[in-house]
C-alpha cells in the first residue's frame, strides 16, 4: 500500500492510501492527537475554582455570583482553545443536553421545526467531539487555532434548578493563513450535579447576517 503523507507534513504512517475503503480506516480515536492535546491542555488550562468543578455537591445556583459564572465560562473557553474536547464534554450534564446554533437568517429558529446549523443531543455532541478528535474530520485536521472570548455575562433567575446565563462571544479561528470570526450571544442553562456545575443547554445565536465571512462552522463555538 502506498503511504500518503499529509500535506502539512505530519507523519501519518497509518493514514491509508486514498483508494482504501472506509472500513480499513484507522479508528476514529487518534491516540497521537489525544496525547498531544492532553499535554497542551495540562500546560494551558488551569483548573477552575473547586466549587465550580469537582466539589459542587449541593451548590446553590442562586448564590453564585457573576464572577463564579465567568470563571466557569472562561474555563470552558480555555478547554475549547486547547482542543481538550474530552474534558470539555465532562462540563455537560448527561440528560436533556442540547447544543444548538441557529441559522444566521433565523436566530429564533426552533430546532424541532426549522433548519438550524447545529442541534446536538448527547450522542451527537459526543460524536462531534469524537469526529473532531480524529484525523478524519478533514476540515479540522490539522485543527484551527481558536480564541474563544466571552463578554457581557448576565445571570438570570434560577427556574426549576436551571440558571439561565447570557454572554456575548467572539470566536476567532485561524487556519492555513486565513482568519475568520464568529460573533453572537450564548444562551446557557446551567445546572449542578454531584460533581459541580454542568451545562444543560447552550444555544449560540450568531449576529453575522450570513455565515459566509467565516466560510463554515466545523469548530465548536
Partner 1 sequence: MTLTEEPSTTMSPSTGSPLVEEDAGAHRFRVHRSTMTSPEVFQEELRRVFEHSWLYVGHESEVAEPGDYVRRPVGGRNVFMVRGAKSKQVHVFHNTCTHRGAVVCRQKSGNAKVFQCFYHAWTFDSEGKLSGVPDREAYGEGLDFSTLGLRSVARVQSYRGFVFASYDPDIVDLVEYLAGAAEYLDLVADSSEAGMEIIKGTNEYCISANWKLLAENSVDGYHALPTHDTYFKYLVARGLEFTGGLDGRARDLGNGHAVIEYLAPWGRATAKWGSEFGEGVRGEIESLRAALVARHGEERGMRIAETNRNMLIYPNLVINDIMAVTVRTFMPSSPGQMDVTAWQLAAKGEHPAVRQTRLDNFLTFLGPAGFATPDDVEALESCQQGFNSGGVEWNDISRGMDRVPKGNDESQMRAFWRRWAEQMGPSDFGAKVTR
Give the whole-angstrom CA distance, residue 16 versus residue 172: 32
* 117 touches partner 1 (CB under 8 A): yes
Give the whole-angstrom CA distance, residue 188 versus residue 165: 5
Binding track, positions 24-53, relative to partner 1; x by CB under 8 A: -x--x-------------------------
- CB 36 → partner 1: shortest distance, Å? 19
- CB 132 → partner 1: shortest distance, Å? 9
Binding track, positions 7-26, relative to partner 1; x by CB under 8 A: x----------xxxxx--x-
Cα-flanking dihedrals φ and ψ of residue 61, to 5°? Answer: -55, -40
CB 85 within 8 A of CB 183: no
Nearer to partner 1, 142 or 164 (CB): 142
Burial degree of 46 (CB within 10 A; 0-12, 13-18, 19+): exposed
- CB 83 → partner 1: shortest distance, Å? 16
Find the binder of partner 1 among 136, 142, 172, 193 (CB under 8 A): 136
* 4 touches partner 1 (CB under 8 A): no
Phi-psi region at 40: left, alpha or beta (left = phi > 0; alpha = psi -120 to 50):
alpha
Residue 204 pairs with which residues in a beta bridge?
186
Residue 92 pairs with which residues in a beta bridge?
199
Binding interface with partner 1 (CB under 8 A): 7, 18-22, 25, 28, 101-106, 109, 111-119, 123-124, 127-128, 130-131, 134, 136-140, 178, 210-212, 214-218
Amino acid at each position: 500500500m502506498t503511504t500518503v503523507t499529509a500535506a502539512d507534513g505530519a507523519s501519518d504512517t497509518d493514514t491509508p492510501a486514498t483508494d482504501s475503503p472506509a472500513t480499513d480506516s484507522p479508528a476514529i480515536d487518534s491516540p497521537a492527537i489525544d496525547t498531544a492535546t492532553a499535554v497542551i491542555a495540562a500546560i494551558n488550562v488551569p483548573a477552575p475554582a473547586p466549587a465550580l468543578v469537582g466539589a459542587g455537591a449541593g451548590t446553590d445556583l442562586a448564590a453564585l455570583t457573576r464572577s463564579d459564572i465567568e470563571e466557569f465560562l472562561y474555563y470552558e473557553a480555555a478547554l475549547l482553545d486547547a482542543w481538550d474536547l474530552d474534558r470539555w464534554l465532562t462540563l455537560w450534564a448527561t440528560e436533556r443536553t442540547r447544543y444548538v446554533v441557529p441559522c444566521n437568517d433565523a436566530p429564533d429558529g426552533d430546532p424541532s421545526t426549522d433548519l438550524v446549523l447545529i442541534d446536538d443531543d448527547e450522542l451527537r455532541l459526543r460524536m462531534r467531539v469524537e469526529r473532531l478528535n480524529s484525523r478524519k474530520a478533514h476540515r479540522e485536521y490539522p485543527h484551527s487555532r481558536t480564541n474563544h472570548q466571552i463578554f457581557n455575562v448576565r445571570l438570570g433567575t434560577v427556574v426549576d434548578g436551571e440558571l439561565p446565563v447570557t454572554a456575548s462571544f467572539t470566536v476567532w479561528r485561524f487556519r492555513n493563513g486565513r482568519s475568520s470570526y464568529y460573533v453572537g450571544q450564548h444562551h446557557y442553562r446551567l445546572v449542578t450535579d454531584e460533581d459541580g456545575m454542568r451545562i444543560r443547554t447552550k444555544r449560540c445565536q450568531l449576529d453575522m447576517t450570513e455565515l459566509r465571512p467565516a466560510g463554515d462552522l466545523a469548530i465548536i463555538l
